[in-house]
Amino acid sequence: MFTEAEPALGAGSLSPEDLQRSHDRLRVLAARHRGRRLPLLWLLAGPGLLVMLGENDGPSMLSYAASGATYGVGFFLPFIGVTFLGAIVVQEMAMRVGAVTHRGYGELVFQRFGRFWGWFSAVDLLVTNFVTLITEFIAIRVGSSFFGVPAWLSVLAGLLLVGVSLAGGRYWRWERAALGLAAFNLLFLLAAVLSKPDPGAIASAFATWQPLPTGSLQTFLLLVASNVGATVTPWMLFFQQSAVVDKGLTPRDIGQGRLDTLLGGLLAFATGCGALLVAAALFSHHIPATTVQGGAGFAEALRPVSGYPVAALFSLGLVEAGALAILTISASTAYAVGEVMSGPHSFNRRLRDAPSFYGFNLGLAILAAAVVLLPGAPLLAITLNANLLATVLMPAALVFLLVLANDREIMGSRVNPRLLNWAAAGVALMVALAGTSYAVVAFVNAVTGRAG
């Protein structure tokens, strides 16, 4: 009854996940045929929202909080906006490449650049994902400890969440469950409202973008790199492009995919600012951020300053941020490994049909959880440097994506326009400078024996 301008495949050409995905596509076709725009957007939204809100993870929210507690709202509040603009530019390319080619990022790198670069990108992802997953469990542990939950129980709950999310056997079910969890990222906005920030200071920050803060250059550059790494990371490319393929988006859906990505970016920007505004109360009360770098430090420091409800909401937000990121980052790992190994890589496959896909999804999370339970880990330092690692490793992944998005052989007329290439080049430059400048200053300080 409904048709799309896509190549037809014979029944024998359809894989098991294609057959599952076809049920979702029928609903999309029905909504498009009836001209129902909001239902159509609802059906096609998901990858963009999840990748953006999933990147508002534990280390990201703690990076924003550390920025607010260290420097207030003047410089970093608008800077967060710049980083999310960069993230939207990058993720739009990942979405479009996935919708046009019907191939995940890892699979395309492997096919277009060869085995060496394919495995290089996969190993790059595995390293950053493993370190980042550790910090997600730290976020759950930190947030839960405010309510007296033992570390082992909070970490076990995070693992159980991953296991339960894999039981549906359908991408649609996994995505909707993850989106339901993502809605609780708005807890940071509620906490910001209850903390009663100064509207004049917020307006001034965006209107004038106040000068660079004074103090330790090394600390400032670490927070800059951490904020950049909080919005533009390798796992995001792998996840959104593969999720777009798993969801079944086609070139005709690119418009809705852009709206999905933009909406996700705007919501993530707002909640990231919320975390910064909540912690900026510590700056206003002259409470050094270095005094809250462990355990439930931020929440405990906020309780006497902003009240128990704000501290509790901040803690619950950390739990949600870590939990959602565990789902999305684990998924990006499974997608990438499946793609480069030419194995199953779809949530539309059942467990018995894709044991390696689900095994990698859960296996890396188990290893990360085990590391988190080791005693004596410097929690905030690990989270900040996890984002720094993502910043250092991101430029190579971004170059591959930019080349793919300009490859006419696979993209046809949907290659990047010139303006988008300039914007993407600017993002790559920002990421490279953020990581390099911090590394140089840290090295000089280490050689000269300076404190920072």
**Whose structure tokens read 């670490």?**
222
Confidence of residue 300 (pLDDT cuts 50, 70, 90): confident
Q: Is 234 among the domain residues?
A: yes
Q: Look over the chain and give the mean of its residue pLDDT values, rounded to a whole number.
A: 83
Lowest mean pLDDT among 48-52, 333-337, 382-386, 412-416: 382-386
Q: pTM here?
A: 0.87
Q: 439 lies in which domain range? A: 47-448
Q: How many other C-beta atoms lie within 10 A of the C-beta of residue 341?
A: 17
CATH for 408: 1.20.1740.10
Lowest mean pLDDT among 49-53, 323-327, 363-367: 363-367
pLDDT higher than threshold 70 for residue 209 = yes
- Which alpha helices (DSSP H) does 166-296 contain, by range? 171-182, 187-194, 199-208, 217-229, 234-247, 254-284
* Phi then psi dihedrals of residue 15, to 5 deg: -80, 170
pLDDT at 96: 96
Of the candidates 155, 188, 450, 440, the residue with the CA atom closest to the CA atom of residue 323:
155
Confidence of residue 3 (pLDDT cuts 50, 70, 90): very low
* Phi then psi dihedrals of residue 346, to 5 deg: -155, 140
pLDDT at 11: 41
Q: Is 123 among the domain residues?
A: yes
pLDDT at 134: 87
pLDDT (average), residues 211-227: 80
pLDDT higher than threshold 50 for residue 306 = yes
pLDDT at 379: 59
Q: Is 103 among the domain residues?
A: yes
Q: Which percentage of the chain shows pLDDT scores above 70?
A: 88
Q: Is 22 among the domain residues?
A: no
Confidence of residue 344 (pLDDT cuts 50, 70, 90): confident
Of the candidates 172, 185, 193, the residue with the CA atom closest to the CA atom of residue 269:
185
pLDDT tens-digit map of 53-75: 988 988 888 889 988 888 888 88
pLDDT at 48: 93
Q: Is 40 among the domain residues?
A: no
pLDDT (average), residues 168-182: 85
Q: Is 158 among the domain residues?
A: yes
Q: How many other C-beta atoms lie within 10 A of the C-beta of residue 308?
A: 12
pLDDT at 368: 86
How far apart are alpha carbons 407 and 113 in whole angstroms?
12
pLDDT higher than threshold 70 for residue 378 = no
Q: Is 16 among the domain residues?
A: no
pLDDT at 18: 66
pLDDT (average), residues 427-443: 82
Q: Is 24 among the domain residues?
A: no
* Inter-residue contact 82 to 129 (CB < 8 Å): no
**What is the count of structural domains for the chain?**
1
The residue that leads in pLDDT, 109 or 293, is 109
Of the candidates 357, 248, 335, 333, the residue with the CA atom closest to the CA atom of residue 17:
248
Lowest mean pLDDT among 124-138, 236-250, 338-352: 338-352
pLDDT (average), residues 351-361: 80
The residue that leads in pLDDT, 300 or 447, is 300
pLDDT tens-digit map of 94-124: 999 999 999 989 889 988 888 888 888 888 8
